[in-house]
């Protein structure tokens, strides 16, 4: 798997919010085997101030940081936050979120495309949190995005993949673009299903952080992602309308 020229072995990405404690978060990251974690700028501030203990913990884990613009409600706010994150985390990567609706936290796709274009022109490598809409995806790619992160369901809802048709269509329409299902996944089987569709990775936060045992759940997701990817590479059979016998009927004994 390759994101903006960076080769990664693990197809599971983790968020770092909502864990019972930083220690539990660190153990979950280790159990998952992830190489990329998302971090909100709101968890950080300048050197020597609040957030430095958390940032030191992240660095000690030896993972790549994907800062995000979580909570931003406009393109202008997202762009400003991204530029601040680049200074704090010293990376061109940015997970771009522009939220447009309060109840579902659905992306504002108009502001998203606007912000993506500005940031790409400014040298950022943008990971946009988007819907599964093909036209929006086209606009994001045209704006300079080389990765797309469509939602499976509303953030933190644990509903899984609400629009399997749309996600499959997105995969078919962009065979060469890395696609990451981001948001809404609740259990490992949801992640496996995304991988079985041919998605390149999944990003999980709430389903692990809010589990009774986040460390065990992180390990479960890691196995599910591996299984789903292996299934995709093996070539799953197509669903059928009718039964098909698994045992040949030719040569069957005639006992009449």
pLDDT tens, residue by residue, 66-81: 999 998 999 999 999 9
Does the domain made of 2-234 have the CATH classification 3.40.640.10? no
Cβ count near 89 (within 10 Å):
19
pLDDT at 11: 97
pLDDT tens, residue by residue, 150-208: 999 999 999 999 999 999 999 999 999 999 999 999 999 999 999 999 999 999 999 99
- The domain spans of the chain are 2-234
Q: Is the pLDDT of residue 48 over 60?
A: no
DSSP strand pairing (36-40 vs 64-68): parallel
pLDDT at 167: 97
**Residue 187 burial (CB < 10 Å; 0-12/13-18/19+)?**
middle
Query: How many CA atoms does the CB half-sphere of 153 hold within 13 Å?
Result: 18
pLDDT at 111: 96
User: How far apart (Å, rounded) are the C-alpha atoms in residues 154 and 103?
Assistant: 9
Point out the catalytic residue in the list 30, 92, 95, 210. 95
pLDDT tens, residue by residue, 204-235: 999 999 999 999 999 999 999 999 999 999 99
Do the beta carbons of residue 178 and residue 1 sit within 8 Å?
yes
CA 52, 57, 60, 64 torsion-angle sign: negative
* 184 in a labelled binding site: yes
pLDDT tens, residue by residue, 112-145: 999 999 999 999 999 999 999 999 999 999 999 9
Residue 30 is among the residues annotated as catalytic for this protein? no
* 228 in a labelled binding site: no
* 131 in a labelled binding site: no
DSSP strand pairing (2-3 vs 6-7): antiparallel
pLDDT at 247: 74
User: How far apart (Å, rounded) are the C-alpha atoms in residues 34 and 29?
Assistant: 6
* 183 in a labelled binding site: yes
pTM here?
0.90
pLDDT at 47: 47
Cβ neighbours of residue 192 closer than 8 Å, sequence gap 6 or more? 224, 225, 227, 228, 231
Out of 24-33, 145-154, 162-171, 239-248, which region has the weakest mean confidence (pLDDT)?
239-248
């Amino acid at each position: 798997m390759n994101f903006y020229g960076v080769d990664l072995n693990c197809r599971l990405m983790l968020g770092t919010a909502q864990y019972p404690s930083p220690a539990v978060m660190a153990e979950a990251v280790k159990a998952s085997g992830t190489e990329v974690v998302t971090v909100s700028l709101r968890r950080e501030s300048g050197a020597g101030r609040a957030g430095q203990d958390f940032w030191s913990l992240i660095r000690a884990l030896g993972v790549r940081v994907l800062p995000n613009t979580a909570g931003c409600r406009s393109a202008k706010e997202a762009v400003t936050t991204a530029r601040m994150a680049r200074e704090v985390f010293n990376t061109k990567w940015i997970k771009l979120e522009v939220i447009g609706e309060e109840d579902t936290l659905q992306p504002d796709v108009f502001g998203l495309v606007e912000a993506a274009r500005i940031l790409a022109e400014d040298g950022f490598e943008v990971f946009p949190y988007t819907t599964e809409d093909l036209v929006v995806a086209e606009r994001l790619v045209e704006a300079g995005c080389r990765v797309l992160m469509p939602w499976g369901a509303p953030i933190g809802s644990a509903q899984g993949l609400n629009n399997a048709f749309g996600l499959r269509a997105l995969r078919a329409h962009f065979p060469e673009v890395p696609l990451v299902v981001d948001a809404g996944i609740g259990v490992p089987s949801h992640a496996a299903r995304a991988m079985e569709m041919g998605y390149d990775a999944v990003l999980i936060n709430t389903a692990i952080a809010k589990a009774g045992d986040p460390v065990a759940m992180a390990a479960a997701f890691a196995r599910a992602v591996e299984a789903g990817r292996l299934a995709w590479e093996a070539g799953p059979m197509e669903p059928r309308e009718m039964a098909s016998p698994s045992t040949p009927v030719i040569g069957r004994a005639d006992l009449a």
